[in-house]
Amino acid sequence: MTSFELGQNFTVQVFGQSHADAIGAVVDGLPAGKRIDLDEVFRFMGRRAPGKNAFSTARREADQPEVLSGLIDGVTTGAPVCAVIRNENVRSGDYANVLTVPRPGHADFPAYVKYGGWNDVRGGGAFSGRMTAPLCFAGALCLQLLRERGIEVFAHIRSIAGIDDAVPDPCCPDLEALRAVAQKEFPTLSDAAGQRMRSAIAQAREEGDSVGGVIECVAVGLPVGLGSHMFGGVENRLSAALFGIPAVKGVEFGSGFAGCGRRGSENNDPFRLREGRVVTTKNDHGGVLGGMTSGMPLVLRIGVKPTPSIAKPQQSVDLIAMEETELSIRGRHDPCIVPRAVPVAEAVTAIVLLDLLYDNN
Amino acid sequence: MTSFELGQNFTVQVFGQSHADAIGAVVDGLPAGKRIDLDEVFRFMGRRAPGKNAFSTARREADQPEVLSGLIDGVTTGAPVCAVIRNENVRSGDYANVLTVPRPGHADFPAYVKYGGWNDVRGGGAFSGRMTAPLCFAGALCLQLLRERGIEVFAHIRSIAGIDDAVPDPCCPDLEALRAVAQKEFPTLSDAAGQRMRSAIAQAREEGDSVGGVIECVAVGLPVGLGSHMFGGVENRLSAALFGIPAVKGVEFGSGFAGCGRRGSENNDPFRLREGRVVTTKNDHGGVLGGMTSGMPLVLRIGVKPTPSIAKPQQSVDLIAMEETELSIRGRHDPCIVPRAVPVAEAVTAIVLLDLLYDNN
Amino acid sequence: MTSFELGQNFTVQVFGQSHADAIGAVVDGLPAGKRIDLDEVFRFMGRRAPGKNAFSTARREADQPEVLSGLIDGVTTGAPVCAVIRNENVRSGDYANVLTVPRPGHADFPAYVKYGGWNDVRGGGAFSGRMTAPLCFAGALCLQLLRERGIEVFAHIRSIAGIDDAVPDPCCPDLEALRAVAQKEFPTLSDAAGQRMRSAIAQAREEGDSVGGVIECVAVGLPVGLGSHMFGGVENRLSAALFGIPAVKGVEFGSGFAGCGRRGSENNDPFRLREGRVVTTKNDHGGVLGGMTSGMPLVLRIGVKPTPSIAKPQQSVDLIAMEETELSIRGRHDPCIVPRAVPVAEAVTAIVLLDLLYDNN
Amino acid sequence: MTSFELGQNFTVQVFGQSHADAIGAVVDGLPAGKRIDLDEVFRFMGRRAPGKNAFSTARREADQPEVLSGLIDGVTTGAPVCAVIRNENVRSGDYANVLTVPRPGHADFPAYVKYGGWNDVRGGGAFSGRMTAPLCFAGALCLQLLRERGIEVFAHIRSIAGIDDAVPDPCCPDLEALRAVAQKEFPTLSDAAGQRMRSAIAQAREEGDSVGGVIECVAVGLPVGLGSHMFGGVENRLSAALFGIPAVKGVEFGSGFAGCGRRGSENNDPFRLREGRVVTTKNDHGGVLGGMTSGMPLVLRIGVKPTPSIAKPQQSVDLIAMEETELSIRGRHDPCIVPRAVPVAEAVTAIVLLDLLYDNN
């Protein structure tokens, strides 16, 4: 298991760099005979694609993957599915000075030390957010296989710059409203909240600054008992994957950190019977008890830090000259990557949930 | 890799159940020729042991592990180190009704479904917090191997029931103060804060209730560049392990969720030179940039939910009769497991950090 | 995955050294609710135990494992099964000079270099054949779970010192005859051949020498399609495990090396229908085609080199003095480990086959 | 770890099918800053390429990989190296009837059952020998990284159709002679033996038949102590990989199966001092003692069965009609794949040896 690989029962191997010839993914171990709707896969990937609107980087890409193997007439064969996305519209010059002056908040400095200066620094290289495009390809396959089992995964922007979206009912979320989020240009439940978030992003951009936020992910239809003891729990496996999304600095489930300030009598979710099924009357446990799914909706949140690439001048150090300097980052950068990270969160969650479903016991 | 196993370059395999004959751990893959101070290991484990004071369960155990293999005269041989801790002082009767009426907030319900009723339910079985004792054994070994490389790992109670401890300086933590925490009966930096937390715990206990909290972990002396791309990052590997501590519902690094509400210009940490070393002037990144250590102190927090076992009556369902019922949990239970989870957080963090150090590139 | 661990869907973690306090195994990931006949497990382990007869080492051990966890009333709980076997009857003095003068054919020399002299050298330490006792424990569990699915695994001595046993029909092996082998003091199909092998062993012993041989393993009842592409094949996974039995220097399937000298028209096995099932009319493929089981009996052979510990004087080098010397090995040693390795081969094969059965696709 | 993946410290993920758009490999986890001579890589791959001479299939391919990522100016960056080889010159019609009538000796039958008929059957699909081309790409990278450490890996045809090549001295192999083999059209040490093998192949082809053989692999320059205990041994990890080469039915080390018929006093290799180094005076152990390298040349042999695709009519079963039938295989097939498998054996051995070198202890 290397750093670009995810999964136990099937694996997703990502490859590429932001400005290499291509990026891509190999999805190995999926069952044979599963029909994949590639158009839907491409539409899903389109939700992450840059250049859609004023709120994201001006870089535009087709981002249409070429599927090289693994499918015949859109049906899985049991052989690894390899998808390649060519990198186009690349202007490496924008990043020329990054080599020696690390950008605050970026991987530049530790990568320089770790790789002895040999890592690809153009556009973030293999640390670029662009590496999430092949994750979306893999996740889109998994979402279709999950839906076959009655499982759906949704995400929305929970907050940006301190502005909150509406909160889905954690016990009985409005599925139509959640499904509608995926169709929106700006993935919030409340359009009014979304509008205020956009204003905050626009203002940050104007000031050469950036903002972060929180994404909430909800999955419904999960059977009881996915996940396992100790390190094999749903939270372990999801967090191990979700921290792979660039800029994620926190992961919490259910009532999360807020619930940790409460009394047990408040935070515990009572069991009741509803139509012959055991349910909880509220869902502060976020659908996970003892590392296993409870049958209630899975609810998790990830904290996405403000984009570290900002136009404002910042202090840094020239690593060759070993002297302090000031850095102004030019180039095309999202003042807020949260909206584009929403489908990525869905994709990563879907990959892990399908992997958990394939556990044999 | 199964659910009771942790690590890539060496592994910690935990076994046992709360009321089985024994619990234990096999630590496989440590280098040969390392001298282990077993007395120090036992002292470390003593910090987690129950029954130390009024704030924890009345169950008392020697919890002294017997090391069956892997060491000769306290020196590692390259063979797996197996430590066994006998379970004593067990009163299974306390837990008799748990089988059919799941305790809210516990693993009982999904475990019942997953294991078809065959899992050990006595004292939580293999989901018990007691399974963290062998983790402390393994972690104590790792702490000694880390110290040999100049790395120290500390934890303290950051908050309980909304009461905050003092906060260590994330750039230059007071190491003496942090080291002193490990000697205290109640592991806070501020004794005054600790006293108020104890009162809150005592009050919850009196009311048949429980409280949760947040633990903060700090590691110093780490080289630059531990961790790797995407899923191989420090945050990925630490969170995958930390969610293995029972009751943990959130993990965050550096400024964490709070930082996600800020502007990039606020949250980015500028680089400067100090005595020829590249440092950041503040540490909102928590010592991790792009999944790799930056050389600054690693700072993380885990949210620990209030102990789900409370004396207050709770609603539940009889899974055999399939009818709603009320449940009152008797037996010896911590009204707050946060203090005892502090050394566990250190242990788990130490295991992962040593594993990251053993990565070959 | 470390060196003492086997398995993907469940794992067997072995620990201990020949002269440590104990050896043992942790079997993690077995399904819950499986009834294990521990008496049968102990009887199986007895087949490997030393000191049974004149043909094996004089070391006698109870070798009765203590099961510390994972079972309640002999039924699996889903928690790891840990079994510990205490080492008794140990005379370390016999091995005192091994430290500095490596025994030809043994792990001593590379282990000395690799572990810097810190490895346990008493009785072979963690390289001892004794480490196969916990493998037999784990294998015995697996054999019972396989039998539940109609799968049986047999082994017999195929040859010792150039003397051949009878060969089971690879298409329709005589199951009664194979089952009877497990009851014999000397595990051959032909008692006459066995008698001649015993004579050859006795003669080697008298001359201070040793002999090797070949073990054949046959498994029946396997479904079609276990195993997978390329590195996931049945042969890959079995050989990776079988070379873990000390002294094994070759593994072959079906017609093996002999078949490689033939024409394709000879070696290919034609398909026919028998009672509605697709079978082959002969079984030179050994039950594996393209890495997957064909439904025909699995047939494999392992070559076991002559025991390297011999009384005859041998040339070696004193690694401290760095001068050439002569070595005479005293102590209790099998002049032929092949008979005792027969149940180990069954055990290891059973572990891998069960693991293959648990593959999800 | 899925079936198309090899390696622990770095990984080789193969993808594709014989008649898909492409095949390829992702090599993830190589250190950064290593200069790769891609021309040499392509020359190495040319040794495996089909259509070179009268002794191999008439299918001709450029087989020139396109490197999509991981290298900048031929230097590794620490990001995964992905190489894609387009499939050209494909005539799927040749294989049309394979779907329902499995070819004796091929993966067809178990694959049909396992994948429910959804696997790609064109040209063997993902079971095709063509999948070894990307392995050669990965192996060629590894050979260069090994050479940097003074390690060389050679292979030659040890025998075909019972005709033996010259045998290299297992203690002091003639490196010039071994290096020369790689330049030959037919990779034997003895050209006379090679000529006789070619005649045997030509005769088999004329008779619509095929032949198999044995490949011997020798690696020199290995340090003492690679590999580890039990399942982590050099033999375990090499055999697990080598059985991934299609048609391999046996793997043996050093004196192998032949040595198992000997006495210990014959088979043990005495230790002596030569110029201050500990060596053995002969090398029946094949460079591996107790699973670890001894510093002597690594010597292993793999048995390659006769190509199962033969023109001669064979018995089989129509899996749809479920009736017995006769099968005549048309299309382009090697009457002997042994010569082309020689570089594949080198490649696979190189991958595993580099992986062993990257073990941290």
* Spatial CB neighbours of B69, under 8 Å, sequence gap ≥ 6: B79, B80, B81, B82, C15, C16, C17, C20, C21, C22, C23, C24
Confidence of residue B22 (pLDDT cuts 50, 70, 90): very high
Span C310-324, average pLDDT:
95
**What are the extents of the domains in chain A?**
5-357
Confidence of residue A361 (pLDDT cuts 50, 70, 90): low
Which chain A residues are within 8 Å of B294, Cβ to Cβ?
A: 109-110
**Distance to chain A for B73, nearest Cα, Å:** 32
Reported ipTM: the value is 0.96
Span C96-101, average pLDDT:
68
| The pLDDT of residue D340 is above 70 | yes
Is A307 known to sit in a ligand binding site? yes
| The pLDDT of residue B51 is above 90 | no
Span A33-47, average pLDDT:
96
* Spatial CB neighbours of B234, under 8 Å, sequence gap ≥ 6: B226, B227, B288, B291, B292, B293, B298, B356
Chain C nearest-CA residue for B121: C77
Helix (H, G, I), strand (E, B) or coil at B130: helix
| The pLDDT of residue A96 is above 60 | no
* C-alpha dihedral, B160 to B161 to B166 to B168, nearest 10°: 50
Pairwise CB contact (< 8 Å): B79 & D31: no
Tens of pLDDT, residue by residue over B176-208, are 999 999 999 999 999 999 999 999 999 999 999
Q: What is the spatial distance between Cα C193 and Cα C214, in angstroms, rounded to a whole number? A: 14
β-sheet with B81-86: strand ranges across = B5-6, B11-16, B22-28, B81-86, B66-69
| The pLDDT of residue C57 is above 60 | no
**Distance to chain D for C343, nearest Cα, Å:** 17
Pairwise CB contact (< 8 Å): D252 & C253: no
Pairwise CB contact (< 8 Å): D32 & B78: no
Helix (H, G, I), strand (E, B) or coil at C351: helix
Q: Which of B35, B84, B351 to mutate to test the interface with C (most CBs of C within 10 A)?
A: B84
Q: Which residue has the higher pLDDT, A353 or B328?
A: A353
B234-242 helix and B338-357 helix, angle to the nearest 10 degrees: 140
Helix (H, G, I), strand (E, B) or coil at C123: helix
| The pLDDT of residue B331 is above 90 | no
* Spatial CB neighbours of A219, under 8 Å, sequence gap ≥ 6: A151, A152, A153, A154, A287, A297, A298, A349, A353
Q: Mean pLDDT highest for which of A62-66, B114-118, B214-218, D60-64?
A: B214-218
Considering only CA atoms, which of D21, D27, D3, D23 is closest in space to residue D347?
Answer: D27
* Burial class of B332 by CB neighbour count within 10 A (0 to 12, 13 to 18, 19+): middle
Pairwise CB contact (< 8 Å): B273 & A228: no
Tens of pLDDT, residue by residue over C202-258, are 999 999 999 999 999 999 999 999 999 999 999 999 999 999 999 999 999 999 999
Which chain B residues are within 8 Å of A109, Cβ to Cβ?
A: 224, 271, 278, 289, 294
- Chains linked to D by 3 or more Cβ pairs within 8 Å: A, B, C
Confidence of residue D97 (pLDDT cuts 50, 70, 90): very low
- Residue B269 CB neighbours (<10 A): 25
- Which of A22, A68, A115 is opposite residue D69, by nearest beta carbon? A22
Tens of pLDDT, residue by residue over B273-319, are 999 999 999 999 999 999 999 999 999 999 999 999 999 999 999 99
Tens of pLDDT, residue by residue over A135-162, are 999 999 999 999 999 999 999 999 999 9
Establish how many alpha carbons lie within 13 A of residue B215's alpha carbon, considering only the half-sphere containing its beta carbon: 33
Confidence of residue B62 (pLDDT cuts 50, 70, 90): low
For residue A82 the two structure tokens come to: 């390899």
Helix (H) or strand (E) holding D338: helix D338-357
Binding residues of C are: 48, 290, 305-309, 332
Cα–Cα distances in angstroms (integers) from residue A59 to residues A52, A220, D198, D346, in the given order: 9, 35, 59, 44
Q: What is the spatial distance between Cα A218 and Cα B334, in angstroms, rounded to a whole number? A: 32
pLDDT of the residue at D89: 65
Q: Which of B120, B128, B135 to mutate to test the interface with C (most CBs of C within 10 A)?
A: B120
Is D52 known to sit in a ligand binding site? no
For residue C227 the two structure tokens come to: 């195993």
Helix (H) or strand (E) holding B220: strand B213-220
- Which of A17, A77, A116 is opposite residue D79, by nearest beta carbon? A17
- CB pairs A-B closer than 8 Å: 367
Q: Which of B36, B82, B115, B135 to mutate to test the interface with C (most CBs of C within 10 A)?
A: B82
Task: Point out which residues pair with D317 in neighbouring strands.
Answer: D324
| The pLDDT of residue D150 is above 50 | yes
pLDDT of the residue at B16: 97
Considering only CA atoms, which of C268, C238, C251, C348 is closest in space to residue D249?
Answer: C251
Q: What is the spatial distance between Cα B60 and Cα B90, in angstroms, rounded to a whole number? A: 9
pLDDT of the residue at B197: 98
Query: What's this model's pTM, rounded to 2 decimal places?
Result: 0.96
* Spatial CB neighbours of D89, under 8 Å, sequence gap ≥ 6: D59, D60, D61
Pairwise CB contact (< 8 Å): A303 & B241: no
Chain centroid to CA A8: 19
**In sequence order, what DSSP letters do the residues of A35-70 get, joined into one string?**
B--HHHHHHHHHHH-TTSSTTS-S-----PPEEEES
| The pLDDT of residue A253 is above 80 | yes
Pairwise CB contact (< 8 Å): C259 & D303: yes
- Which of A78, A229, A360 is opposite residue C360, by nearest beta carbon? A360
Residues of D183-204 as b/e, b for ≥16 C-beta within 10 angstroms?
A: eeebbbbbeebbebbbebbeeb
pLDDT of the residue at D91: 58
| The pLDDT of residue D16 is above 80 | yes
Which chain C residues are within 8 Å of D273, Cβ to Cβ?
A: 317, 322-324
Tens of pLDDT, residue by residue over A214-237, are 999 999 999 999 999 999 999 999
Binding residues of C for FMN are: 290, 305-309, 332
pLDDT of the residue at C110: 97
Which chain C residues are within 8 Å of A30, Cβ to Cβ?
A: 361
Considering only CA atoms, which of C108, B59, C252, D32 is closest in space to residue A110?
Answer: D32
Q: What is the spatial distance between Cα B151 and Cα B293, in angstroms, rounded to a whole number? A: 13
**Distance to chain A for D314, nearest Cα, Å:** 27
Share of chain C above pLDDT 70, in %: 93
pLDDT of the residue at C63: 73
- Which CATH number does the domain A5-357 belong to among 3.60.150.10, 3.40.50.150, 3.40.718.10, 2.40.160.20? 3.60.150.10
pLDDT of the residue at B330: 79
Q: Helical H runs in B67-190?
A: 108-114, 132-147, 175-181
- Which of C9, C30, C361 is opposite residue A31, by nearest beta carbon? C361
Cα Rg of chain C, angstroms:
21
Which chain A residues are within 8 Å of D72, Cβ to Cβ?
A: 120
Mean pLDDT of chain A, nearest integer? 93
pLDDT of the residue at A51: 61
Helices then strands, counting H and E runs in chain C, come out as 9, 18
Pairwise CB contact (< 8 Å): B360 & D360: yes
Is A92 known to sit in a ligand binding site? no
The structure tokens 């290919």 sit at: C268
- Which of A29, A31, A360 is opposite residue C358, by nearest beta carbon? A360
**Distance to chain B for C132, nearest Cα, Å:** 14
- Residues on chain D bordering chain B, Cβ-to-Cβ distance under 8 angstroms: 9, 29-32, 78-79, 229, 358-361
| From C86-95, D19-28, D172-181, the region with the lowest mean pLDDT | C86-95
Pairwise CB contact (< 8 Å): B289 & A107: yes
Phi, psi of A270 (to 5 degrees): -65, 145
Span C332-336, average pLDDT:
84
Share of chain B above pLDDT 90, in %: 88
Chain D nearest-CA residue for B1: D1
- Which of C31, C79, C229 is opposite residue A361, by nearest beta carbon? C31
| From B232-236, B337-341, C330-334, D136-140, the region with the lowest mean pLDDT | C330-334
**Distance to chain D for B361, nearest Cα, Å:** 6
Q: What is the spatial distance between Cα B180 and Cα B183, in angstroms, rounded to a whole number? A: 5
Is A246 known to sit in a ligand binding site? no
Which chain B residues are within 8 Å of C10, Cβ to Cβ?
A: 2
Q: Helical H runs in B88-131?
A: 108-114
Which chain D residues are within 8 Å of C329, Cβ to Cβ?
A: none
| From A292-296, B330-334, C150-154, D235-239, the region with the lowest mean pLDDT | B330-334
| The pLDDT of residue C172 is above 70 | yes
* C-alpha dihedral, B109 to B86 to C18 to C6, nearest 10°: 10
